[in-house]
């Protein structure tokens, strides 16, 4: 099959489906039992290779094993003993599915495999979509109850988006992200045990604690080389991914929305569609895997990838809940003077919200703080040449609020249980149509009346006592709440084409491919300490491009860690993403303000590379951490390097830049020095890091000749 032919082929005679991406091939075989089975995912194979695929059989020749390749979506039935991606129950108590393959469809890069249960009114479509010019394959499932009204409901205990399988490797290593509030996106790389390893969020949000992204390799891949298989789920509620390394040497994983113990009642005629679970293979190591994800997020996920993310000023760390018109205007004037392009009024502007104990849900400006409403501030901010942004937390309510007093039944709660408060707040049940309608109406009005260009959409608690009084299928809220959040965001964006949205959940508690399909960037972490941020940003960059990573320069000592760091170091760390300012500028000295203005201007010079270029991580956290950004046409380069501590007074060695072209020459436009690419790729560049702790540098290079 020539490389230019259709990325998707299906050979009905052999039941073989082949998906091709620039660097990989994915092969599925519909077996004699009607179930689509996994055959191969990895480096490209040509058509002749595919003609003679080995027959399916389990490595363990035993009557205790399944004698078939792993399923593309494992039902809970037959000789299958690993984690099931499809768990259903019929009215008579029977579980699982025994499929008949009823056909396929190909449309461009999309393949659809149709399955029907042999005995029960259940049909599934397994969908695969190859993204153009990308190694990413998107997968999802649509499950339909095909019976009539008299056939009774089918209970879905689990419907994953996809199961994935690795070729047999000598060993397996799992890379994933862990953390908590203030410590999100910490990268873990551990040998995969012979066991089932569950990555999950049971919180109703993606969570600070884990992210539905992972990478697998044989334990030898590096940043620059080696085979890596990696997947990411586009879902912002609870989720579960189970990686199963079995004792005979196979590794599969299955994942999707929801967590254990939830069920969905599928009514006759109803279809349940899963979120996308995307996967990619690369032979180029973890760095290439991240760049492939970044290209995909920019080309296939983000609503507006080519627009520069503005330099934001956000008032939260400066003023907390103590906000009013004059104070915010003063900050806006100072921020505009530093080159900020967007001013965001954070929490505390509405209702009785002078602390986190009251007012949440009452989205009207507090008269004592904003006597004429928000519009005068918005107009002033616009007059200063900045966009105007507003913090909202529409999914939440304080008990002490007019909204709660009027609609106590709108909160997620089980009537016979005491509702747990987190940050003195409860969660609104967006799965209720009237709550979704209220949220849309409220936000639409706020945006319209105040000429709002930007919403920072926050969420500061998770789901507990997940009841829904009066609803016969209360578990639905786990999925329908998230879907409603998506719908409200989508409608707002459609009705207000200029509006941009920043995702936030107490920092990085809801960052995933699902939320990024309707937001522009995410608030990475409430921890703005630059040393901790190096680790957090390193993890974040594994999946998400820099333009989605909101980073602020805040005051020193840092409010979270108490650490004192120089302004330049704070800026250089924040320059690795969508840079913003978050300190109390009224306390910055003239000298600091001048330095900050110069550093913002410097950031704007490299912004196109950071936000839209290719990112090469040169070294991870510990010692000197460095990242190299390359413009799309490979001519402009920026290197950011950070060294939090010195050791033994030793100077940092030169840093090799392996992503440069060894045959080219490069000019440092700031120093006027020209370098040979061969020297820079092999011997490296002197980072000119100042002596002492919290040293950093920003080097620009331009390809010449």
> What is each CA distance from 86 to 97, 253, 258, 608, in whole angstroms?
8, 13, 12, 44
* Closer Cβ to ligand DGJ, 283 or 320, answer by number: 320
Choice between 26 and 313, CB closer to ligand DGJ: 313
Catalytic pick among 400, 458, 529, 555? 458
With contact defined as beta carbons under 8 Å apart, do 685 and 654 qualify? yes
| Stretch of 74-82, 121-129, 200-208, 500-508 contacting ligand DGJ, by CB under 6 A | 500-508
Size of the residue set binding ligand DGJ (CB under 6 A): 11
- Are 228 and 281 a contacting pair, CB within 8 Å? yes
Helices 567-574 & 530-540 angle (0-180, nearest 10): 10
Distance in Å, CB of 201 to ligand DGJ, minimum: 18
**Under 8 Å between Cβ of 161 and 275:** yes
Nearer to ligand DGJ, 8 or 452 (CB): 452
- Which of these is catalytic: 217, 246, 526, 532? 526
**CA–CA separation, 137 vs 126, rounded Å?**
13
Buried residues in 140-166 as b, exposed as e (16+ CB within 10 A):
bbbbbbebeeebebbbbbbbbbbbbbb
CB of 391 to ligand DGJ, least distance (A): 5
557 preceded by cis ω (within 30°)?
A: yes
Q: Which is nearer to ligand DGJ, 285 or 506 (CB)?
A: 506
For ligand DGJ, which residue of 504, 618, 624, 687 counts as binding (CB under 6 A)? 504
Which among 39-47, 165-173, 499-507, 571-579 is the span making contact with ligand DGJ, rule CB under 6 A? 499-507
400 in active site: no
How far apart (Å, rounded) are the C-alpha atoms in residues 387 and 452?
8
Burial of residue 618 (CB within 10 Å: 0-12, 13-18, 19+) is: buried
Check if the beta carbon of residue 208 is closer than 8 Å to that of residue 227.
no
Per CB under 6 A, the list member of 99, 229, 457, 523 interacting with ligand DGJ is 523
> From CA 619, how far away is CA 625, in angstroms rounded?
5
Stretch that binds ligand DGJ, among 185-193, 233-241, 277-285, 504-512 (CB under 6 A): 504-512
Binding residues for ligand DGJ restricted to 298-317, rule: CB under 6 A: 316
Handedness of CA 401, 404, 407, 410 (dihedral sign): positive
Compute the least distance from the CB of residue 523 to ligand DGJ, in Å. 5
* Furthest-apart CA atoms within the chain: distance in Å: 80
Give the 3-state secondary structure of residue 358: strand
Nearer to ligand DGJ by Cβ, of 281 and 391: the residue is: 391
Site pattern 344..383 for ligand DGJ (x: CB under 6 A) = --xx------------------------------------
d(CA 438, CA 446): 12
End-to-end CA distance of the chain: 39
Whether 67 sits among the annotated catalytic residues: the reply is no
CB-nearer residue toward ligand DGJ: 282 or 315: 315
Q: How far apart are CA 139 and CA 8, in angstroms?
A: 13
When asked if residue 454 is in the footprint of ligand DGJ (CB under 6 A), the reply is no
Please give the DSSP secondary-structure letter assigned to residue 95.
Answer: B
CB of 526 to ligand DGJ, least distance (A): 5
In the 8-state DSSP scheme, what is residue 379?
H
Residue 397: CB minimum distance to ligand DGJ, A: 14
Q: Applying CB under 6 A, which part among 22-30, 501-509, 559-567, 661-669 lies near ligand DGJ? A: 501-509
The distance of closest approach from Cβ of residue 316 to ligand DGJ in the complex, given in angstroms and rounded to an integer, is 4
Positions that interact with ligand DGJ (CB under 6 A): 316, 346-347, 391, 458, 460, 504, 506-507, 523, 526
Which residues are the active-site residues?
Answer: 458, 526
């Amino acid at each position: 099959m020539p490389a230019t032919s259709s990325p998707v082929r299906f050979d009905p005679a052999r039941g073989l489906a082949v998906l091709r991406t620039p660097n990989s091939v994915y092969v599925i075989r519909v077996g004699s039992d009607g179930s689509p089975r996994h055959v191969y995912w990895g480096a490209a194979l040509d058509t002749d290779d595919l003609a003679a695929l080995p027959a399916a059989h389990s490595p363990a020749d035993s009557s205790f094993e399944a004698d078939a390749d792993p399923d593309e979506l494992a039902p809970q039935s037959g000789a299958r003993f690993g984690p099931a991606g499809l768990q259903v129950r019929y009215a008579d108590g029977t579980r699982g599915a025994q499929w008949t393959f009823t056909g396929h469809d190909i449309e461009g890069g999309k393949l659809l495999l149709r399955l029907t249960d042999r005995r029960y009114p259940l049909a599934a479509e397994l969908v695969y979509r190859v993204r153009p010019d990308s190694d990413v394959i998107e997968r999802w499932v649509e499950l339909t109850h095909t019976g009539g009204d008299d056939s009774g409901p089918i209970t879905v205990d689990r419907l994953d988006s996809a199961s994935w399988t690795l070729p047999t490797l000598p060993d397996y290593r799992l890379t994933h992200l862990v953390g908590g509030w203030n410590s999100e996106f910490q990268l873990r790389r551990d040998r995969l045990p012979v066991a089932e390893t569950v990555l999950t969020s049971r919180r109703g949000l993606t969570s600070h604690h884990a992210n539905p992204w992972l990478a697998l390799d044989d334990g030898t891949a590096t940043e620059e080389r080696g085979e890596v298989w990696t997947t990411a789920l586009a879902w912002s509620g609870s989720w579960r991914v189970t990686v199963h390394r079995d004792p005979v040497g196979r590794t599969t994983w299955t994942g999707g929305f929801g967590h254990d113990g939830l069920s969905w009642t599928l009514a006759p005629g109803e279809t349940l569609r899963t979120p996308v679970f995307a996967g990619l293979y690369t032979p180029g190591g973890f760095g290439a895997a991240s760049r492939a994800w970044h290209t995909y997020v920019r080309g296939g996920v983000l609503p507006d990838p080519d627009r520069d993310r503005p330099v934001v000023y956000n008032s939260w760390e400066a003023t907390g809940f103590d906000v009013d018109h004059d104070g915010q205007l003063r900050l806006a004037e100072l921020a505009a003077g530093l080159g900020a392009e967007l001013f965001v009024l954070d929490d505390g502007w509405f209702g009785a919200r002078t602390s986190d104990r009251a007012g949440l849900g009452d989205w009207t400006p507090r008269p004592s703080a904003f006597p004429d409403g928000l519009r005068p501030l918005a107009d002033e901010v616009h007059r200063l040449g900045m966009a105007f942004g507003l913090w909202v937390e529409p999914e939440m309510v304080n008990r002490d609020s007019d909204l709660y007093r009027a609609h106590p039944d709108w909160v997620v709660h089980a009537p016979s249980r005491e509702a747990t408060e987190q940050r003195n707040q409860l969660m609104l049940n967006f799965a209720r149509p009237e709550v979704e309608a209220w949220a849309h109406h409220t936000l639409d009005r706020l945006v319209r009346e105040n000429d709002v260009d930007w919403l920072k959409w926050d969420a500061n608690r998770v789901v507990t006592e997940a009841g829904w009084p009066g609803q016969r299928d209360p578990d639905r809220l786990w999925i329908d709440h998230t879907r409603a959040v998506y719908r409200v965001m989508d409608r707002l964006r459609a009705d207000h084409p200029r509006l941009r949205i920043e995702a936030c959940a107490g920092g990085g508690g809801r960052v995933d491919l699902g939320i990024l399909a309707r937001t522009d960037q995410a608030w990475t972490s409430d921890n703005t300490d630059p040393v901790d941020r190096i680790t957090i940003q390193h993890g974040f960059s594994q999946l998400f491009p820099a333009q989605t990573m909101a980073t602020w320069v805040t005051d020193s000592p840092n409010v979270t860690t108490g650490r004192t760091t120089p302004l330049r170091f704070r800026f250089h760390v924040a320059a690795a993403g969508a840079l913003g300012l978050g300190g109390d500028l009224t306390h910055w000295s003239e000298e600091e303000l001048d330095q900050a203005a110069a550093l913002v201007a410097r950031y704007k010079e490299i912004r196109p590379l950071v936000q839209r270029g290719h990112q090469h991580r040169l070294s991870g956290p510990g010692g000197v951490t460095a990242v190299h950004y390359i413009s799309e046409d490979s001519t402009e380069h920026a290197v950011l390097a950070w060294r939090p501590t010195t050791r033994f007074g030793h100077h940092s060695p030169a840093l090799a830049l392996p992503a440069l072209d060894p045959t080219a020459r490069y000019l440092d436009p700031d120093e006027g020095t020209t370098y040979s690419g061969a020297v820079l790729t092999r011997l490296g560049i002197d980072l000119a890091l100042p002596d002492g702790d919290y040293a950093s540098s920003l080097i620009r290079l331009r390809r010449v000749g």
